[in-house]
Amino acid sequence: MDQTELPPPIWVDTPAALGEMSRNLQKSCCIAVDTESNSLHAYRERVCLIQFSLDGVDYLVDPLALVDLSPLAPVFANPAIVKIFHAAEYDLICLKRDYHFAIQNVFDTMLAARILGYPAFGLGAILNTKFGLELDKKYQKADWAVRPMPPAMLSYARMDTRYLVQLRQVMEAELAEKGLDEIAREDFQRIAQVEGTAPELDEEGFWRLNGARELNPRQAAVLKQLYLARENEAKRKDCPPFKISPNDFLVELAKASPLTRENLLATGLNERLLLRYCRTWLTAIQSGMHAAEIRAPRPRKMDVDLKMRVDALKDWRKKTAAGLGVESDVILPRDVLMAIAERNPTDLDQLNQLMQSCPWRYAAYGMQILKEISPTA
């Protein structure tokens, strides 16, 4: 894409520049927002760049240089300002987690694309279809904590918000034309409620590694210790755990459970990883060999009546979605479907309590939902 005719983005890295930008943002009824984090380069990622676009102006905010981002709080909290994101969930989680912003009035162009039944939801594909634009995704996995930021990365970052205001106008018209605007507003409100809590280490997360459930109880105990050792190394080096070792390496090492350096190297696994963290692996294996054996938790089995309600709601949802030409979870989100199936409401008042986040869907489909889960249906 030729960006030579675009005015340069405005780099914001001082309190004075941040205050001026915030005042400009608060004068607008509609702004585009995006963030860039260093999740592929740090143990616990943080927001490294915040992009804003409005009225042909692109701002790039450097949160690594700014101690206080509170001037942005009234922008995000103002319900009169539409905040346009593409794939908002991760951005909202990071903004709430790192800065405790309250965020109101969100428009998510990726959610809108799903509701409208677009064949592709990526921003590049949508902008190409709607405006004939080509986005360069070269820096998707870049380290956004690098400073000074190369000009090419600055150009890449500004394009993620540059056309979102224009795209929202197009999508709003399409949603209204298809009678899907109420569902979209409901989903935008739901996504705005996402929590922004800092992640905690899940010590049982090793069960999610492919092959973990195929290990015997002793090997599983070893795998847990290897998993925790990798987390500690990653935290110490401030890098993602996968940069210490891949998941399949840990599982294979747990299967072999070598107790000496010679046996460790004889496993035939990645020699570089074995030598680099030799003491770490051997210490973890020794701990696992002396720990209590552990068995994989059994998945909760769905009882017959619950399964019947889930299946009935899914069948109804699929048929209703087909009639509107949308994906099935647009009609009833999975979390709401499961809550209804599990609680088994018997009247509209009970159902209403379970659909507080979906008032339009409750009004439109409440009676149908009750009929589907009724024993006499």
Ordered per-residue pLDDT tens for the chain, 377 residues: 455 578 999 999 999 999 999 999 999 999 999 999 999 999 999 999 999 999 889 999 999 999 999 999 999 999 999 999 999 999 999 999 999 999 999 999 999 999 999 999 999 999 999 999 988 888 888 999 999 999 999 999 999 999 999 999 999 999 999 999 999 999 999 999 999 987 889 999 999 999 999 999 999 999 999 999 999 999 999 999 999 999 999 999 999 999 999 999 999 999 999 999 999 999 999 999 999 999 999 888 889 999 999 999 999 999 999 998 889 999 999 999 999 999 999 999 999 999 999 999 999 999 999 999 987 65
- DSSP code of residue 82: E
Q: Could you give all domains of the chain from N- to C-terminal order, each with its CATH number?
A: 10-192 (3.30.420.10), 205-290 (1.10.150.80), 304-373 (1.10.150.80)
- Which residues partner with 83 through β-bridges? 31, 106
Structural tokens at position 345: 């409401």
> H helices within the chain, ranges in order?
15-26, 73-77, 88-99, 109-115, 123-131, 151-162, 164-177, 181-192, 217-237, 247-256, 261-265, 271-276, 278-290, 304-324, 328-331, 334-343, 348-354, 359-373
Q: Is 91 within 8 Å of 39 (Cβ atoms)?
A: no
CA 158 to chain centre: 21
Q: Is 133 within 8 Å of 163 (Cβ atoms)?
A: yes
Q: How many CB atoms lie within 10 A of CB 291?
A: 14
- DSSP code of residue 200: -
